[in-house]
Amino acid sequence: MWRYAELLPLPANYHPHLPVGFTPLVSAPQLASKIGAKRLCIKNDAVCLPTLSFKDRVVAVALATARRFGFEIVACSSTGNLANAVAAQAAREGFKAVIFIPADLEPAKILGTQVFGAKLVRIAGSYDQVNRLCSQIADERPWGFVNVNLRPYYAEGSKTVGFEIAEQLGWRLPDNVVVPMAGGSLITKIKKAFDEMIKLGLVDSRPVKFFGAQATGCSPISTAIKAGNTDIEPQKPATIARSLAIGNPADGHYAIKAISSSGGWAEDISDAEVVASIQLLASTEGIFTETAGGVTVGVARRLYQQGRIAPEETTVLCITGNGLKTTDVFAGKYAAEPAIAPRISKFDEYIETLDENPTPVEA
Amino acid sequence: MTVTVQIPTALRRLTAGTARITCAATNLGELFSTLDTQFPELKPHLRDDSGEIRRFLNVYVNEEDIRFLGGNAYAFQDGDEVLLVPSIAGGAPDDGKGCHPWLRGS
C-alpha cells in the first residue's frame, strides 16, 4: 500500500518497514453464478500482511504517526483484528502495546494478540464499553491510542483499500462496492479514496454505489438506512460476527451519508446466514474469510436477490478478515473423518462410501 | 440529591479547566441547564440550536449509555456518576491537509 504514501498523512521522509496491503483483487465467477451476479470481484484482505485483516493498513499509518509524536506506548480498543494488527506492528516497530478487548473475543484473536508480547486488558463488557473506557484512559495517560487520539491518521489508512481496487480494475472505478460495517469508517474512506483518485485524474469520474453490510444481531447502521434515518439508535450487540459488534458506531452518521448520497443501500443477515456465506465463499472461490466476510457475502447475495445490484455491473466485495481467526463458529459443523489404515484396499472401501455421500460439507 | 458530572479533557478549555462538578439535577435537561449556567461557553458543544443533544456527544450514567436508560426521560438517582464522552469519529479533513500538496487546493 506504500505506493500511495503521498496520499496518506505520513511524516516527512517516512520509510516504511513492513509490507502492508496490496492484497489481491480476484474475479469471482463461481460465487457470481451462485448469487445471480455476472461481474463480481473480491478484494481479498483475508491475506493482508502482517496479521490477515485490513486493520494492518490503518495501524501502519497510525504507528508512523505515533513515532512522529513521540509516543512510547501504543494502545487500542478492539474487537480483535485491530488488536492483532497493533500487537504485531508494535513489536516490529519497537513500541510497547496495551490492547483493550471485550472479554468474550474469539480465542484465536486473543492468542494472536498475546503472542506478540502485547499487554492484553480484557474488559467484562461490550466493545462499546471498552471503547468508552479507552476514551477516558486516553484522557489520562500519554499513550497513542490508534483509534482514539491517533484516529485522524489511522482512518486515512483505510483509503488504500479504495486506491488498490481502482488500480487493480485497470484504473477504473467499479459500479458498486459492498463493505462490512462495524464503526462505519471503512466505507466512508473507500468513498474518499475514489473521490481523491478522480480529483487527481487517476480514474474517470463515474457514479459508484456504496452498500453496507451488517449482521442482524448488531445492525444500527442498516436499521437506520432502512428506516430512512440520518442518525443511528445504539444497539446491544448479539451476533457471532464479533468483529462487527459495535452497537454505537462513531462513524455511523457518516456511513449513512456515504451510502444514501451514492444511491446505495444497507442490509443485514442472520448468524446462520453468516456461517453459510463463509462456506459459500470458501467452496466457490477458495477464500476462507472470517464472520465479517460472511456478512459481506451474505448481504451481497441479498442485494442481488432484491435487484438493488444489477448482475452486469462491476461489483467489488470487500473481504476484510481471515477465517482462521473465527473457526469457533464452525464448532460441531463438520464431523471428524474416520482414520483409515494406510492400505490401498481400505482406501478403496472408504472412497466408495464417500461416493455415496459426495458432499462432505454440511450446509 | 447529588449527581456528579465528569467533563472530558477535550471540553475543559470551555470550563476553565474544571473536570468535575456536582449538582442536584433530576434529569438530563436540568443537568444541561446547570452546565449552561455555570459554563456558558460549553453550551453550544452540548446541544444544537434546536436544543437536541449533539450527535457526537455521548452521555453515560454509571457506565451505561443514557439512551439505554430512557434518555431525556431518565430520572437521576442520588449518587449517579455522569460521564460526557465525545465520539471519536471522522478523520482528516477532505482538503488533503497533512497529505501531499497534490491533494490540496483545487
Choose one of A134, A154, A174: the last residue of a domain: A154
A358 pLDDT band, cuts 50/70/90, is low
In a domain, A44, yes or no: yes
Distance from CA of A235 to the nearest CA of B (A): 9
Residue A357's identity, in one-letter code, is N
Mean pLDDT (chain A, rounded): 95
Indicate if A40 and A67 belong to the same structural domain.
Answer: no
Indicate if A236 and A316 belong to the same structural domain.
Answer: yes
pLDDT the model gives residue B48: 87
Q: What is the mean pLDDT of residues A318-344?
A: 94
Give, for B22, the enclosing helix (H) or strand (E).
Answer: strand B20-23
CA dihedral A308, A270, A322, A108 (to 10 degrees): 160
Indicate if A185 and A109 belong to the same structural domain.
Answer: no
The closest CB to that of B67, out of A139, A183, A234, belongs to A234
- Contact at CB, A253 and B68, closer than 8 angstroms: no
Distance from CA of B34 to the nearest CA of A (A): 23
Of A237-246, A348-357, B25-34, the one with minimum mean pLDDT is A348-357
Indicate if A124 and A188 belong to the same structural domain.
Answer: no
For A122-137, the pLDDT digits (tens) are 999 999 999 999 999 9
In a domain, A8, yes or no: yes
For A37-64, the pLDDT digits (tens) are 999 999 999 999 999 999 999 999 999 9
Indicate if A118 and A14 belong to the same structural domain.
Answer: no
Closest-approach residue (CA) in chain A for B101: A6
pLDDT the model gives residue B52: 85
Say whether pLDDT at A360 is over 70. Answer: no
| Count of residues in chain B | 106
- For residue B83, list its beta bridge partners: B6, B60
pLDDT the model gives residue A363: 43
Choose one of A154, A179, A204: the last residue of a domain: A154
Total count of domains within chain A: 2
Distance CA A83, CA A56 (A): 10
- Contact list in A for residue B94 (CB cut-off 8 A) is 192, 195
Say whether pLDDT at B106 is over 50. Answer: no
Cβ distance A179 to A296 under 8 Å?
yes
| SS3 label, residue A84 | helix
CA dihedral A255, A258, A259, A260 (to 10 degrees): 120
In a domain, A355, yes or no: no
Render the burial of A114-131: b for 16+ CB within 10 Å, e for the rest. eebebebbebeebbbbbb
Q: What is the mean pLDDT of residues A162-175?
A: 98
pLDDT the model gives residue A2: 96
Q: What is the mean pLDDT of residues A66-74?
A: 96
Nearest-5° Cα angle at A132, A128 to A136: 165
Q: What is the mean pLDDT of residues A111-126?
A: 96
The structural domains of chain B, ordered by start, are 3-103 (3.10.20.30)
Distance from CA of B2 to the nearest CA of A (A): 22
Indicate if A45 and A60 belong to the same structural domain.
Answer: no
pLDDT the model gives residue A359: 54
Backbone angles phi, psi at A237, to 5 degrees: -65, 140
The residues near A86 (Cβ < 8 Å, ≥ 6 apart) are: A59, A63, A74, A75, A76, A78, A97, A99, A118, A146
pTM metric for this prediction: 0.93
- Contact list in B for residue A132 (CB cut-off 8 A) is 58, 60, 63, 83, 85
pLDDT the model gives residue B105: 58
In a domain, A357, yes or no: no
| SS3 label, residue B5 | strand
pLDDT the model gives residue A356: 67
Among residues A187, A85, A98, the alpha carbon closest in space to that of A143 is found at A98
- Contact at CB, B85 and A200, closer than 8 angstroms: no
Say whether pLDDT at A229 is over 70. Answer: yes
DSSP state letter for A268: E
pLDDT the model gives residue A25: 98
B49 pLDDT band, cuts 50/70/90, is confident
Q: What is the mean pLDDT of residues A331-341?
A: 91
Distance CA A18, CA A41 (A): 26
Q: At what angle do helices A107-114 and A81-93 cross, to 10 degrees?
A: 10
pLDDT the model gives residue B103: 73
Distance CA B83, CA A211 (A): 34
- Contact at CB, A250 and B100, closer than 8 angstroms: no
Indicate if A135 and A209 belong to the same structural domain.
Answer: no
Indicate if A190 and A111 belong to the same structural domain.
Answer: no
In a domain, A343, yes or no: no
Indicate if A287 and A162 belong to the same structural domain.
Answer: yes
- For residue A318, list its beta bridge partners: A43
In a domain, A359, yes or no: no
Say whether pLDDT at A201 is over 50. Answer: yes
In a domain, A361, yes or no: no
Closest-approach residue (CA) in chain A for B12: A139
CATH for A100 = 3.40.50.1100
In a domain, A76, yes or no: yes
Distance from CA of B21 to the nearest CA of A (A): 17
Q: Spell out the alpha helix ranges (H) of chain A.
A: 29-35, 55-68, 81-93, 107-114, 127-140, 151-157, 159-168, 185-199, 220-227, 252-262, 271-285, 291-305, 344-356
Cβ distance A211 to A223 under 8 Å?
no
Residue A23's identity, in one-letter code, is T
Say whether pLDDT at A20 is over 60. Answer: yes
| Domain with A9 in it | 2-52+158-329
Distance CA A180, CA A319 (A): 8
Cβ distance A135 to B8 under 8 Å?
yes
- Contact list in B for residue A188 (CB cut-off 8 A) is 91
Choose one of A129, A154, A179: the last residue of a domain: A154
Distance CA A333, CA A293 (A): 18
Indicate if A92 and A146 belong to the same structural domain.
Answer: yes
Indicate if A205 and A310 belong to the same structural domain.
Answer: yes
Indicate if A174 and A310 belong to the same structural domain.
Answer: yes
Distance CA A97, CA A112 (A): 13
Query: What percent of chain A has a predicted confidence (pLDDT) above 90?
Result: 93
